[in-house]
Amino acid sequence: MRAKSEIFDLLLNTAKEDGRIRAVLLSGSRANPAVPEDRYQDYDITFFVTCMENFFNKPEWVIEKFGKPLIMQMPEIMRYPDGGGHFNYMMIYPDGNRLDLTFDDKKYMDDGEPAVVLLDKDSPSEFFPVLPQQNDSVFHIKPPSPLDYYSACNEFWWCLNNVAKGIARDELPYVMYMLNEIVRPELHNMLEWYIGINSGFSFSAGKNGKYFKKYLAPQLYDEYLATYPSADYGEIWAAIFTMCALFRRLALPVAESCGFVYNQGEEDGMMTYLRGIKDGRL
């Protein structure tokens, strides 16, 4: 695998030698000082250019400069034919490196996410404001508002009815969709808030909870893992009831810490319904 220094040298030398490329920005995890560095991190790079038409849907130019990838994706030609003023080449190379290279001709809009200017040929800058010192506070877990909390609880308990009905109807794809795409995000919200109340809301749990293992006690994390079933309905029912117990275990201390009142009636009503479906009484 090519070293980080080789990748950056290739990117910066390419930009320096091409007058149409005026600036280079690094974003993503490699710009975030809070993310541990490893060899699987993408290189999220933006070339700010003066003439987008020369870089729009020109994979041959990218391949000439950076080598032939194992696979490439160009999202704009798939879903956004006009590109909206930018064009992205996402590439994985034979050595395992992944480069997400975006070309843009508009000023950079600082949204608070970590970003580092690697090259700026113009003074004053044509594309960049003065960027603040980099940190990942924009990703930190945020305390829930009353609406956030009560909505998460209601959505979690209510949508379990669809999971149960899907099992009763033997509609496995629907069951897995409802369980993992609709119900699970509310469990993730509660897990994040639980982590937050125990940490002062001072860090991020990562995209889709990828750092849960780091911030949850081992027993609690093992309980969370048990909410992932196979395609066996017996395992799915066991995962559902584990998920319910875990949600309650998290929601009560979050409510206490934030001054909310947990709606026990929602839980009791749905648990009665779930048991009725499982036992064949409903």
Domain locations along the chain = 4-136, 140-278
- Shared fold status for 4-136 and 140-278: no
Enter the tokens of residue 51.
């003439």
pLDDT of residue 34: 80
pLDDT tens digits for 56-100? Answer: 999 999 999 999 999 999 988 887 666 567 899 999 999 999 999
Q: Quick check: 262 pLDDT over 70?
A: yes
Q: What does CATH list as the number for 140-278?
A: 1.20.120.330
The token duo for 90 is: 């996402």
For residue 211, the model assigns a pLDDT of 82
Tell me how far the alpha carbon of residue 7 is from its chain's centroid: 25
Q: Which strands make up the sheet holding 115-120, listed edge to edge? A: 71-73, 86-92, 98-104, 43-49, 21-27, 115-120
Is 117 within 8 Å of 22 (Cβ atoms)?
A: no
Q: What's residue 81's pLDDT?
A: 62
Nearest to 115 by CA among 139, 131, 98: 131
Residue partners of 50: CB distance under 8 A and separation at least 6: 20, 22, 105
Give the CATH number of domain 4-136: 3.30.460.10
pTM of the entire structure? 0.76
pLDDT digits (tens, 9 = 90+) for 96-141: 999 999 999 988 887 778 889 999 999 888 888 766 666 666 668 7
Q: Which amino acid is at 97?
A: N
157 three-state secondary structure:
helix
pLDDT for the residue numbered 263:
97
Residue 209's pLDDT is 81
Distance of CA 262 to CAs 161, 242, 252, 267, Å? 20, 19, 6, 9
As a residue count, the chain comes to: 282
- Phi, psi dihedral angles at 2 (to 5 degrees): -60, 140
**Which residue bears the tokens 């695998």?**
1
Between CA 38 and CA 34 the distance in angstroms is 12
Model confidence pLDDT, tens digit, residues 167-225: 999 999 999 999 999 999 999 999 999 999 988 887 877 788 888 898 899 999 999 99
